[in-house]
Amino acid sequence: MTTFVLVPGGWHGGWCFEKVTPLLERAGHAVHALTLTGLRPDDDEATVATANLDTHADDVLRLLDSHDLADVTLVGHSYGGMVIAAAADRAGGRVARLVHLDGYVPRDGESCWSLAGEAYRRKFLAGAASTGYAVAPPTGGDPRRRPHPVASFTQAIRLTGAAAQVRRRDFVYCSGWEETPFRDLRTRLDSDPDWRVHDLPTVHNAMREAPDAVAEILLDVPEGALDDVTHPPDLSG
């Protein structure tokens, strides 16, 4: 059995994995879908204002501690890629696999702000204009989205190199949206033998648009084999 910890991207909560979680559970695995500090419906303004990347990495580590988890697969979507990198670096060898689901793969000293590109930096600034500490969700989309703590986007990650020792690292590239900031990252990782790169022809929120395909990657099964894994034949006689 694998233990999956699913970390959402900006503005989202653990609910964004609601189509993937049951597929993993039906395959016999344990799943924890996190909602990060500052993104919870009952978080007050002070909590949102003070949450940063360290806070979110600590959310993951606190989960590992409270459930005594080891040999874990961390899955980070979008901004969540920053979080799982920071958490894995501090997890003391308890992480067996990292899956960056169309998510940032930072190097030491980088931030979501530095990696996102100028167009997204303008959007972050515009979204934070009303409060100064939280970036409002982009227009449209799921009404469950929450304003995202701006400090978590701007804080530079500090990595010791421990995350690079995680024995398996996967990057999932979603090619179906024109404004993706991950094209150069895909090229870099595709030439790195320490990484496995997977391509999905979906928009950014692949876990919602193509949950079966995402689950197949997480379960490491061939395309189209998901039903056999989640609904195995009854051989009891």
> What is the predicted pLDDT for the residue at 142?
96
pLDDT score, position 232: 54
pLDDT of 134 above 90: yes
Q: What is the pLDDT of residue 69?
A: 97
Mean pLDDT over each residue of the chain, to the nearest integer:
95
Q: How confident is the model at residue 223 (pLDDT cuts 50, 70, 90)?
A: confident
pLDDT attached to residue 198: 98
- Separation CA 33–CA 16 (nearest Å): 9
Output DSSP code: residue 206.
H
* Domains assigned to the chain: 3-230 (3.40.50.1820)
pLDDT at 32 over 50: yes
pTM: 0.94
Sign of CA dihedral 4, 9, 14, 16: negative
How much is the pLDDT for 237? 45
Across 215-237, average pLDDT: 74
pLDDT over threshold 90, residue 226: no
pLDDT value of residue 46: 97
CA 114 to chain centre: 18
Mean of the pLDDT values across residues 217-237?
Answer: 71
Instruction: Express each pLDDT in 36-58 by its tens digit.
Output: 999 999 999 999 999 999 999 99
pLDDT classification of 231: cutoffs 50, 70, 90: low
| Separation between Cα atoms, residue 17 and residue 77, nearest integer Å | 10
- Interhelix angle 80-90/53-66, rounded to 10 degrees, is 60
Percent of the chain with pLDDT over 70: 96
**102 within 8 A of 33, measured Cβ to Cβ:** no
**Structure tokens that stand for 112 in this block:** 């979501």
Tens digits of residue pLDDT in 60-117: 999 999 999 999 999 999 999 999 999 999 999 999 999 999 999 999 999 999 999 9
How would residue 222 be classed by pLDDT, with cut points 50, 70 and 90? confident
The percent of residues above 90 in pLDDT, for the chain, comes to: 92
